[in-house]
Amino acid sequence: MIAVALRNLRHRPGGFVATFLSAFFGATLLMGFGSLLDTAGHLDPAGAESLTVTASVGGGWCLVIVAFAVTSTLSLAVRQRAEQIELLRRVGATGPQLRRMILGEAAGVALLAAAVAVPAGLLIGRLLLGLLQDTGQVDRTATVVLGPMAFGAGFGVTLIGSLVAAVAAARRTTVERGGGSPRPRLRRVGAAVFLLAGTSCAVVTATVMDGKGIDAMQTAGQAGIWASIGVALLAPELLRLVTALLGAPVRMLGGAAGELAVLGARARNRRLAGAVMPVVLFTGIATGTVYMQAVEDEASAGQVQPDYAQDVQTLNYVVVGMITLFVAIMLVNTLIAATVGRRREFAQQRLAGATRGQLLTMVALEGLLVTVAGVLGGSTAALFTVLPFGAARVARWWPDASPAAYALIVVVAVALTGAAMLGATRRAIRGPAATMLRA
């Protein structure tokens, strides 16, 4: 089955693009931060400490986000191939053979993506080192080193994350074959763990870090990231709630297309929930970071700040900006993959009488439900950062900041979701429906 996996990668490269891109960008970030640890071994103690702290904090955040992104993207790719897997099972492939095939594909894509990411990881490492040099924390003569930490993070985390996701996806296909749905217990337990971690960091920020100045950013930022992941894991429940609340208005707004959108959101809850997850992460991390910095600007106005304060702010924006960019790429990547995989469904609906315009309207309304669910979840997660940080820095829970930044983040989320889903749908419904049904 390993040979079958390699042939799949060679003859069906389009089916693995989403997984490859997710693994590539993830490996790039991890190698970039890992290179700082390799570089630290060649510097004086002061410079080495700055690099180690930056790599540990930023790399730690990236580690969790990347592992989560690779896992969700690969799981989506395997679910889209349910028919192929069922066909192989009918011609005699056993469960262990199918699992080896899926593992082989995952390993091949992960290793290829990590290998291609080496030059990009070096560029990220140089960018991070340059920022630290510009702020005077590292000597100008230092150069980036790609060593065991960078390669271990880039290759190791990407490969392990892909294999873990492949095992979970392979088990899920076996469960779905029996007619039941996978038990959500493990996912909900994971959500509870991440939400507890976010709550813990939020409490520490509001209590222990009260009066500690800019240092409170460390725990406040972590609170938002953990909470965003926790809420993202509850995406099916969140989408189900939004669909129930907005079902009637969507039907009135879209007519027949609105009816199809609501019915589709209910019937395809788990698959559409995969699109909600990156919206949650994007909204939560971006909103939390922007308003945390707004609170910090208010708190530090007119005060003498320590020498490293500007450095912390700059690096905070760069690190979280990289994570936000990665999540935005993951959002578009996931939405395109999920929509393109519905060619057969769209063809069946067209043969049943639906027009191309109705299908585009249906997908647009599904995108509305996805966006509302994601923005609602992400906004909730951002509160884990903004509220306790405001209490610690300005003794006020709610920040005195303009809503314009939040509005911009929501507009970007809507634009990314709409452009990805509608663009992919237009490509998926090109040509005769009968031809697409046979594809």
315-330 pLDDT, tens digit each:
667 766 777 777 777 7
**CA 57/CA 227 separation, integer angstroms:** 17
Most confident of 69-78, 215-224, 241-250: 241-250
**Cα atoms found within 13 Å of the Cα of residue 171, Cβ hemisphere only:** 7
What band does 386 get if pLDDT is binned at 50, 70 and 90? very high
Please give the structure tokens belonging to residue 67.
């592992």
* Least trusted range by pLDDT, from 149-163, 166-180, 336-350: 166-180
Specify the pLDDT at position 377.
95
438 vs 80, higher pLDDT: 80
State yes or no: pLDDT of 179 exceeds 50: no
Nearest to 63 by CA among 143, 156, 140: 156
41 vs 126, higher pLDDT: 126
Nearest to 158 by CA among 226, 111, 105, 102: 111
**Per this entry, what is the length of the chain?**
439
* Least trusted range by pLDDT, from 10-19, 28-37, 249-258: 10-19
Cα separations in angstroms, 183 against 79, 186, 335, 353: 16, 7, 24, 36
* Least trusted range by pLDDT, from 122-136, 176-190, 400-414: 176-190
Cα separations in angstroms, 322 against 31, 143, 146, 382, 419: 13, 21, 19, 17, 22
State yes or no: pLDDT of 83 exceeds 70: no
What band does 118 get if pLDDT is binned at 50, 70 and 90? very high
Specify the pLDDT at position 271.
78
> Radius of gyration of the chain from Cα atoms?
23
**CA 217/CA 208 separation, integer angstroms:** 12
Nearest to 226 by CA among 196, 202, 206, 198: 198
Specify the pLDDT at position 2.
53
Specify the pLDDT at position 115.
93
Do 291 and 383 meet the contact criterion of CB atoms below 8 Å apart?
A: no
226-272 pLDDT, tens digit each:
999 999 999 999 999 999 999 999 998 888 888 888 988 888 888 78
Specify the pLDDT at position 306.
65
Residue with tokens 């469904």: 345
Specify the pLDDT at position 7.
57
Mean pLDDT of 171-186: 58
Work out the mean pLDDT of the chain and round it to a whole number.
Answer: 81
Specify the pLDDT at position 337.
73
**CA 377/CA 372 separation, integer angstroms:** 8
State yes or no: pLDDT of 180 exceeds 50: no
Contact partners, residue 56, CB within 8 Å, separation at least 6 = none
What band does 15 get if pLDDT is binned at 50, 70 and 90? low
Domain assignments of the chain as residue spans, ordered by start: 1-182, 184-439
Mean pLDDT of 307-320: 67
Nearest to 53 by CA among 193, 268, 249, 217: 217
Nearest to 59 by CA among 130, 152, 173: 152
Please give the structure tokens belonging to residue 365.
């309304």
State yes or no: pLDDT of 214 exceeds 70: yes
The dihedral built from the CA positions of residue 350, 352, 358 and 363, taken in this order, carries a sign that is: negative
CA angle 201, 190, 243 (to 5 degrees): 100
**CA 297/CA 299 separation, integer angstroms:** 6
Please give the structure tokens belonging to residue 296.
């910090």
State yes or no: pLDDT of 85 exceeds 80: no
What band does 175 get if pLDDT is binned at 50, 70 and 90? low
Buried-state track 305-315, b at ≥16 Cβ within 10 A, e below 16: eeeebebbbeb
Cα separations in angstroms, 89 against 82, 181, 334, 345: 10, 19, 27, 22
317 vs 15, higher pLDDT: 317
Do 124 and 55 meet the contact criterion of CB atoms below 8 Å apart?
A: no
What band does 297 get if pLDDT is binned at 50, 70 and 90? confident
What band does 14 get if pLDDT is binned at 50, 70 and 90? low
What band does 101 get if pLDDT is binned at 50, 70 and 90? confident
What pTM was estimated for this model as a whole? 0.80
Distance spanning both ends of the chain, measured CA to CA? 24
Please give the structure tokens belonging to residue 236.
């099916």
Specify the pLDDT at position 178.
46
Residue 43 region, left (φ>0) first, then alpha (ψ -120 to 50), else beta? beta
Mean pLDDT of 46-61: 76
